[in-house]
Amino acid sequence: MSNHAYESAARLRPQRCAPTPLSDLARAFSLTPARREDGGTDSVEALEVSGVSVDSGDVASGELFTALPGFKTHGAAYAAEAVAAGAVAVLTDPAGAERVHADCPGTPVLTHPDPRAVAGPLAAAVYHRPAEHLLTTAVTGTNGKTTTSYFLDAILTAHRGACMIAGTVELRVGDISVESPRTTVEAPVLQRMLALAAEEGVGAASLEASSHAIVLHRLDGLVVDVAGFTNLQRDHLDFHQTMQEYLDAKAQLFTPEHARRAVICVDDEWGAQLAERIAASGQIPVDRVRAYTEHAAGPDGTDWWVSDAAVSMTDSATTFTLHGPAGETIAAACPLPGLVNVQNAALALVMAIRAGVPAQTAVAALATAHNIPGRMQRISQRDGVRGTCIVDFAHTPDAMELTLKAVRQITPGRLIVVFGSDGDRDRGKRPLLGEVCARLADVLVVTDENPRSEDPQSIRDAILQGVRAARPDLRDVEEITTWRGDAVRRGVELCGPQDTVIVTGKGHEPFLEIADEFIRYNDAPVMREAVLAKWGEPA
């Protein structure tokens, strides 16, 4: 694996970007030509830039390299590499300027006290405000961002012909799809993806917005048409310190600098507080959505609410009715099992409707959106001969509990779970995962996830200790010590026509981390091959 976060995104650049005079940018964004050791300053008058880059491993000819002060290092240390790759000028802070002058004599340097804050708006200007040509949505929240953003991808594709996606799983514009290094990429990378989308006539963009990104200015310079919020749960408190700070970070997305309107799930107290704040500020319109009907039998002060959620065993979908503030009654089907996905689906529908998509277009597209990489991804669907085979990302005890309960509802026979747990991460969750699976699944296949520097056997032992607490005789519990792929194949082998096998923990992830090595591996193709070997092609 490379140290360069954005190398994979190198192809995601517009083919044509009319150059912008550097002097125009200097004026518009209060950039100061840096003073050299000889007391002079670099002239920027004759220079033009045709792009903006943020990582020295991802620079194209003619670009302005933004050398940002980081948590680990300073981008100025990599300016020489960026210039060798074609950068024609460097934007940095005053501290970085000295290093750039020393390492890249002759390259013009501009400074700004906070280059990270200016990088987004500047990139939007250099790429000629590409978001204005697209219908744009962004989803934030602790859980459900990826799922909701793929629901929106399907809906916006139906409405606009094509949609770009930027989130945890992939960066995709038209035919180009690459692995994503971040949930939300740095602003210059996002802006140039939007520029490529606009150039290719892609009509929409579905984005995930992490709270880190909001705080670290990765979304600055972009105003999306509709921003949505799923929920807030305990997470990332190393970065945000308290839940209130975590909410405050997310709340910044719902201001006129970032969004034209807001759609907020108010199923938890944090969503309710957020909706209240947005409404009180009066700056952008806000719709509230309540998906969990056990909390309210009716509208109860919410604008949109869900009733009659019911699971179907035959096609694994959950049907529900969405009620709107103008008396709308919309019959919909969420293609993924589980109530949490009804929340994601209701949010996506309301966001789409507020973005101008006709409700019936949105409902029809949503019903087909079950092929989300690693999120309840159905590799095989029950049809009388074959069983249901699923790849999912659940890797915490809470997520595992939700996932297994959801899948139980679509399983007339046995529920088989193939799982492991990470090495070099939270050791406490290993027995808890074992206990949850022993309690909620019928057959357990225990395997490795990312052992990293740890002995895989000791991780499996800790899981099995939790399994024993709920199932002392270890009935229907198998341990696969060879290779994760063998465990996935074993799960499929055990799966009968009434059964479901679910492999959890890795979802879309393309690597296994074993010792110091990243080994290319993904559960979905292995499961697909096992399904084909067992049942052949579907009729």
Ligand X SMILES: CC(=O)N[C@H]1[C@@H](OP(=O)(O)OP(=O)(O)OC[C@H]2O[C@@H](n3ccc(=O)[nH]c3=O)[C@H](O)[C@@H]2O)O[C@H](CO)[C@@H](O)[C@@H]1O[C@H](C)C(=O)N[C@@H](C)C(=O)N[C@H](CCC(=O)O)C(=O)O
Ligand Y SMILES: Nc1ncnc2c1ncn2[C@@H]1O[C@H](COP(=O)(O)OP(=O)(O)OP(=O)(O)O)[C@@H](O)[C@H]1O
From the annotation, which residues make up the binding site? Answer: 56, 141-147, 183-184, 210, 218
Is 402 among the residues that bind ligand Y (CB under 6 A)? yes
Query: Which residue in the set 394, 480, 492, 503 belongs to the binding site for ligand Y (CB under 6 A)?
Result: 394
Q: What is the contact mask toward ligand Y in residues 353 to 392, using x (rule: CB under 6 A)?
A: ----------------------x----------------x
Q: What is the contact mask toward ligand X in residues 519 to 538, using x (rule: CB under 6 A)?
A: --------------------
Is 449 among the residues that bind ligand Y (CB under 6 A)? no
Q: In Å, what is the CA distance from 190 to each residue of 155, 165, 166, 205, 371?
A: 21, 10, 8, 11, 24
290: amino acid identity, one letter: R
The shares of helix, strand and coil residues in the chain, as percent rounded to the nearest 5, are 35, 20, 40
Report whether 209 contacts 180 (CB < 8 A): no
Q: How far is the CB of 181 from ligand X (least distance, A)?
A: 7
423: amino acid identity, one letter: G
Is 230 among the residues that bind ligand Y (CB under 6 A)? yes
* Interacting residues with ligand X between 192 and 221 (CB under 6 A): 210, 212-213, 216
Report whether 204 contacts 163 (CB < 8 A): yes
**Burial grade of 105 (CB within 10 A; 0-12, 13-18, 19 or more):** exposed
Query: Which residue in the set 50, 137, 143, 184 belongs to the binding site for ligand X (CB under 6 A)?
Result: 184
Is 360 among the residues that bind ligand X (CB under 6 A)? no
CA separation for the pair 458, 88 (Å, rounded): 53
* Interacting residues with ligand X between 124 and 183 (CB under 6 A): 182-183
Q: How far is the CB of 44 from ligand Y (least distance, A)?
A: 40
Buried b (16+ CB within 10 A) or exposed e, 31-62: bebbbeeeeeebebeebbbbbbbbbbbbbeeb
* Interacting residues with ligand X between 22 and 81 (CB under 6 A): 54-57, 68, 70-73, 75, 78
Enter the tokens of residue 428. Answer: 């406490």
Is 264 among the residues that bind ligand X (CB under 6 A)? no
How many residues lie near ligand X (CB under 6 A)? 22
Question: DSSP character for 277?
Answer: H
CB atoms < 10 A from the CB of 148, how many?
30
| Residue 147 binds which of ligand X, ligand Y, none (CB < 5-8 A, kind-dependent) | ligand Y
Q: How far is the CB of 393 from ligand Y (least distance, A)?
A: 4
How many residues lie near ligand Y (CB under 6 A)? 19
The residues binding ligand Y (CB under 6 A) are 143-147, 168, 183, 230-231, 340, 343-344, 375, 392-394, 399, 402-403
